[in-house]
Amino acid sequence: MVVGDPVQHSLSPAMHNAAIAALGLDAIYVPLRADAVALPHVIKAFEALGVAGNVTVPHKLSVAQLLIRLTAAAQELSAVNTFFPEGGRLVGDNTDVAGLLDALDRLEPQSPWLVVGTGGSARAVAAAA
């Protein structure tokens, strides 16, 4: 599940569903559009159901404020892009920094790059720099 508003742009469902099919799992990864008013209710429902998923624009910062438990990475950035159930609660995490560092390792050492934006992903880029 990926939650955002808008969410139709996300490539996550296609990528995750391809991996699910390749692994032969009985599962599906779906996009869920939730506006700012619905978001707290959606997060509470996910917590009650023990649902794991991802967060995309514009909710990465908001979800960090809604969850009681955050990993060190999510705390440092005050942004969540991944959540998972643990001990009856949802835990917020941020994997953007690790993903960005992996991508930067593939660039030429002196390649220039530019950060555009100020949201959750931009915070991850700044932290990685």
Active site residues: 60
How many CA within 13 A on the CB side of residue 28?
Answer: 3
> Using alpha carbons only, what angle is made at residue 64 by residues 31 and 35, rounded to the nearest 5 degrees?
40
| Tokens 């624009």 sit on residue | 57
Q: Is 66 exposed, middle or buried (0-12, 13-18, 19+ CB in 10 A)?
A: middle
